Amino acid sequence: MVEVPCALRRRYGFTLIELLVVVAIIAVAGSAGIGLYSGTFRRLQVEKVARNFLLTAKYGRIMAIEKQRQYEIQLDEENGGFCLTTLEWNEATEQVEQTVVKDYYCKPVQFEGTIRFEDIQIMPTGAEETGDEEKQAIVFSPDGTAQTVVIQIGDGRTHYTISISAATGKAKIHFGELEDAEIGTIDLDAE
């Protein structure tokens, strides 16, 4: 049997330095991934709330037309959230009461974390008269119209703007701040 000198023997395994370098590379890549993930997660939370608001506005318009009664989106600026309400007859009390719509398509929404209404602009149509000046509500009429509304939802870094047209009651969403949104009149004759 021939003996192989130490220098020619095959090396198996890794040195401690090589292992430490690999661990350091994994740690740096992992921390970069966590930073990207947390920013993306916050952006997606804001987007989810804005899209929920858009869907609630669309649902409120559809239900106002279908049920032929007024629906409102109640805005809770203090606690952060919103819900769709309507007036319904309560047979037990034999009175008309304002009820929160809770069904498969629409539920009240509470904001999480730092998400809030950053700007709310509701232009009154003159038809609605509320004695409560503190109450913020978007009214959808049975004829499909609504108030002109522009709302910015965000967390200080990410912003979404939702606009509702008075003539049609239709809602649109725009990524970005209120100043960046293209909000104007709608041509009802355009297809």
With cut-offs at 50, 70 and 90, classify the pLDDT of residue 130.
Answer: very low
Q: Average pLDDT in the 91-101 region?
A: 85
Give Cβ neighbours of residue 125 (< 8 Å, ≥ 6 apart): 139, 145, 147, 148, 166
pLDDT tens track for 41-89: 888 899 999 999 999 999 999 999 999 999 999 999 888 899 999 988 8
Confidence at 5, pLDDT banded by 50, 70, 90: low
- Give the span between the Cα atoms of 5 and 107, in whole angstroms: 78
Helix, strand, coil percentages (3-state) for the chain, rounded to 5, are 30, 30, 40
Q: Is the pTM of this model over 0.85?
A: no
Residue with tokens 């309560």: 90
Residues 15-180: name the CATH superfamily: minor pseudopilin epsh domain (3.55.40.10)
Q: How far is CA 121 from CA 16, 137, 150, in A?
A: 63, 11, 5
> What residues have CB less than 8 Å from 81, skipping those under 6 apart?
108, 109, 110, 111
Phi, psi of 45 (to 5 degrees): -65, -45
User: How much is the pLDDT for 74?
Assistant: 93
